[in-house]
Structure 1
């Protein structure tokens, strides 16, 4: 009797889903943190239920492309323009100061300059996926602090494009020499120009847009075509495919067709966000962690503290109260998903060794795991002085946005469900 060759795959999927459910319920952690813990548990560091390195790499590659496509769909030109100085100048100052501080620390330990700059970029980026989820769960996305944090997150995501180009230059013109840098530079310029075009246009019409809106299958296929098409183009210029997917998400948002994309791809969104964060957990090497626990935990704490302090001071500089500034700084304290992309790029280009790559992966994972507790601690300290968005105000805002989308698309959709879930923390 021959075993069905698909059975191991089905077992993997079953363990994947069961692990996420059990960890989420038993630990009462945010779902994204549950994904990380699940990856560590079922991966080589845990029970080794998934140990194929090629499978891990493919899962992570697809997961990050889809994740950043959905994050790109959150980039609203209106939100960026409403906080333009904070998003632009504030984020530039925050990234610059972070890089300067890390370079200074690197000089003390004798790190090469290119490695220090890469680490500065890695530490400077916060997690859009994690913070958007937390703010949505807490009903604070439309609050003043929520909008400030969102503007900074979106500006950081856009800043990744020049970061990738700088890392390519720091790699020392590897195999292709100057032609390699020219290819990357051309691709980065084209991506930046296209992103600026998207942000500055009031609306972009997709070819056959009316037909797509009326056909569910075409909605799914056209959105994925844009996602993977721009990812492929980005890859052809030797840039991260995730960058192309991110710009693809921006394009979908600019068409003002985000509503049907969200409805059509919600299942994909849940699966691939889970896939990305589980794949990160799968890459964690517990033996490496135990051998370097002091270094990993020390640098993770330094990153949390540095991001909190710098973002708090920048928000205060833009005339927010100390309580709002501290809470916003805590929300931006962890290291984000784009940092995994930069770490992988730095490893492949030779800026960091496999030791440095594993160290970066563990530091990011640690900051993501402890971030909810850190945010709650700072929030409790500030809570008496914050002016959170009233639940009724949040409901009115959601209904207003939904009515605007409904009228814009000419659809007669049922009203959005009102979440009655309490905080998971």
Structure 2
């Protein structure tokens, strides 16, 4: 008789249960994740009336593969460039939310008499919202075009990075079993070091490799190469003491910056879906229904703590970042759930055997409940805002509006801020590269050369020289390279008291480079005479060959920046705008009534109060189009208005689609709404909007003026600018600041 391995039997059982439950959940329009968890509960050891999985160990291995591919796909959606473009509002909101939810989870756990480690992990579980659930809810409710949606997506991007940090910190804490501040700090510094190193190395090498092999890459080869890159980074992460999930996330975020990101995401989706299904089924297998009954009260308490805590912390963070009350309320209620990262944090506690058996099922139950409540909370957010506006003291509402208005707009950086920011980035990036080269030379290159090529002192000298050759361009960039020449010149020439600090900065840079050279040589030789002679020779060589080093470094930097910017950031969210208005992109459907009509015939501004900032027609960009411009099928139109105005006009366009890669000659990301304050020295002071030439000089459109506390939306073109007018202009973000001069 033929014997079928137990693993295949169990896998068939899992997928059959998952298939049936997901079909059911699709029918009742609920998230598939909950269907997978239910399937796991059915085939788990606690339900006896149907066949159950017998080889749990193999399933756990498959589930770990599922975590790897789940984090890999999240990394593909993450992108470090998106994180940089998120802005202060989303960052502040996310940080406030995470800190508060960590505290709320810990306090709630201790109040219920739980162990310290259970309470800490509960805080981590509650601190991260679910990207999958929120995106699905936004799509079903049709609110992706609304103002608060952009802020929520930004918060989720920051939360992904915070969740990775939490995984590392919780792993360290679980292993050490004590709150050692020094050990935590070392873990954070180690994580930051490897994040920077992997990102720099990955962006330099991976896109270059993909470009070189592009002609050889069919779908099959691309799939194999993508999974191979993912697993190689997993091995590297485990090698330096991090979790496999971190390595998968990092490689996903590196590939997200390449031109092949969408293709890789499409090809790996099926693999991710398969293994992620097994992971979520394994989550359900760990649930004991008896525990859920016994802990019904804690589940209810934690669910309430999650919804109220996330609403209050996210809303408070949004308010602190300068968002209007309405946006803050909608953001807070949108983020009131936990999801996939919470499962991974709970799994970490089970794997390390530092949490109690009841915590995992409780986390899953809370996730299931908050998944059901999320769409209703999002739908109720706007009516709840109107309720607050009616019942809160008027002084509070007016104060919040003033605070929101005052924090928006252009922020002008001083020369010192520009210079210090650039010097800091330069120092961190090149210090990380140099430290990595030192350890590679000492730990790997020198043993290889002395063991396989030349023994003894000659092998050590060759290893040292080779390592120094690789380090030299980065030593030059750290110590000698000129950064932000314009700001540096202003400070040197215009302010005599700044020359001392500038000289001190240059001395510090040179001293740091000398330290790295000495640190390298000390790995090979311990005699100070040898170190001193080598340092003098290296510094002299850097000065003598400065031009050649500059040329070589510039080529390296150009290659890195070319790889980094090869893929235009997609779905970039604009700055948060005043008076509840924001930018949105709509597409003219071929069957739309707008096709063929001029803007003056449509009278969109007069009828709906909406301004058209830009029209994209193929590769042609038309900023602030004139009244005689016509709309054609598939034109992408960038419009500005309130949520209600955009909802009305969206029907005219008959739907919208996601942004695609923009043409390079006029990127849409340059079109933002910005604030300027008019004074007596402004070039447009005393002129009317029409005669000021703003449309021609900034490719911009004046959409609002605040004068003596009064707000004027869509002002008449004959209105004259007065002193201390706050003017809102949608236009080219590089040209609008010229009005401040």
TM-score category (smaller protein): 0.7 to 0.9
8 Å CA contact retained: 2:79, 2:254:
no
Structure 1 match to 2:321: 318
Q: Secondary structure at the match of 1:125?
A: coil
When residues 320 and 208 of structure 1 are mapped into structure 2, their CA distance, relative to the original with a 3 A threshold, is closer
Q: Distance in 2 between matches of 1:289 and 1:311?
A: 29
After the TM superposition, which residues 245-256 of structure 1 pair with which residues of structure 2 at under 5 Å, given as runs? 245-256=248-259
When residues 110 and 3 of structure 1 are mapped into structure 2, their CA distance, relative to the original with a 3 A threshold, is closer
Structure 2 match to 1:410: none
Structure 2 match to 1:264: 267
> 1:252 Cα shift?
0.8
Q: Secondary structure at the match of 1:251?
A: helix
When residues 77 and 10 of structure 1 are mapped into structure 2, their CA distance, relative to the original with a 3 A threshold, is closer
Residues 1:21 and 2:280 aligned together: no
8 Å CA contact retained: 1:94, 1:124:
yes
> 1:17 Cα shift?
1.5
Quick check: which has more Rg, 1 or 2? 2
- Of 388-397 and 276-285, the range deviating more from structure 2: 388-397
Structure 1 match to 2:77: 74
Structure 2 match to 1:33: 34
Q: Secondary structure at the match of 1:29?
A: coil
> 1:307 Cα shift?
0.9
- Of 16-25 and 49-58, the range deviating more from structure 2: 49-58
Structure 2 match to 1:341: 344
> 1:147 Cα shift?
1.9
Structure 1 regions of 5+ residues with no counterpart?
Answer: 406-425
8 Å CA contact retained: 2:79, 2:256:
yes
TM-score, normalised to structure 2, is: 0.48
> 1:113 Cα shift?
4.7
When residues 280 and 342 of structure 1 are mapped into structure 2, their CA distance, relative to the original with a 3 A threshold, is same
Higher strand share: 2
Could you list the per-position Cα deviations for residues 55-100 of structure 1 after superposition, in whole angstroms to 9, with x for gaps in the alignment? Answer: 4423421222111111111113443333321233322222222223
Structure 2 match to 1:401: 660
> 1:266 Cα shift?
3.0
When residues 383 and 108 of structure 1 are mapped into structure 2, their CA distance, relative to the original with a 3 A threshold, is closer
Residues 1:134 and 2:137 aligned together: yes
> 1:207 Cα shift?
1.0
8 Å CA contact retained: 2:13, 2:53:
no
Q: Distance in 2 between matches of 1:349 and 1:115?
A: 12
Structure 1 match to 2:91: 88
8 Å CA contact retained: 1:203, 1:255:
no
Which structure has more relative contact order (CA 8 Å, sep 6+)? It is 1
Structure 1 match to 2:213: 211
Match of 2:167 among 164, 167, 172: 164
When residues 37 and 109 of structure 1 are mapped into structure 2, their CA distance, relative to the original with a 3 A threshold, is closer
Q: Distance in 1 between matches of 2:155 and 2:288?
A: 32
Structure 2 match to 1:416: none
Q: Secondary structure at the match of 1:254?
A: coil
When residues 195 and 372 of structure 1 are mapped into structure 2, their CA distance, relative to the original with a 3 A threshold, is farther
Structure 2 regions of 5+ residues with no counterpart?
Answer: 388-641, 665-741
Structure 1 match to 2:681: none
Structure 1 match to 2:598: none
Q: Distance in 2 between matches of 1:54 and 1:393?
A: 54
Q: Distance in 2 between matches of 1:336 and 1:137?
A: 18
When residues 402 and 173 of structure 1 are mapped into structure 2, their CA distance, relative to the original with a 3 A threshold, is same
8 Å CA contact retained: 1:19, 1:38:
yes
Q: Distance in 2 between matches of 1:100 and 1:4?
A: 50
8 Å CA contact retained: 1:187, 1:234:
no
Q: Distance in 1 between matches of 2:209 and 2:164?
A: 27
- Of 70-79 and 282-291, the range deviating more from structure 2: 70-79
Structure 2 match to 1:362: 365
Q: Distance in 1 between matches of 2:21 and 2:352?
A: 35
Structure 1 match to 2:283: 280
Match of 1:224 among 224, 227, 235: 227
How many residues are treated as equivalent by the alignment? Answer: 401
> 1:36 Cα shift?
3.1
Could you list the per-position Cα deviations for residues 400-423 of structure 1 after superposition, in whole angstroms to 9, with x for gaps in the alignment? Answer: 415769xxxxxxxxxxxxxxxxxx
After the TM superposition, which residues 48-63 of structure 1 pair with which residues of structure 2 at under 5 Å, given as runs? 48-52=50-54, 53-63=56-66
Q: Secondary structure at the match of 1:98?
A: helix
Match of 2:293 among 290, 295, 303: 290
Match of 1:371 among 354, 365, 374: 374
Q: Distance in 1 between matches of 2:363 and 2:226?
A: 32
Q: Secondary structure at the match of 1:320?
A: coil
Structure 2 match to 1:332: 335
Structure 2 match to 1:411: none
Residues 1:116 and 2:93 aligned together: no
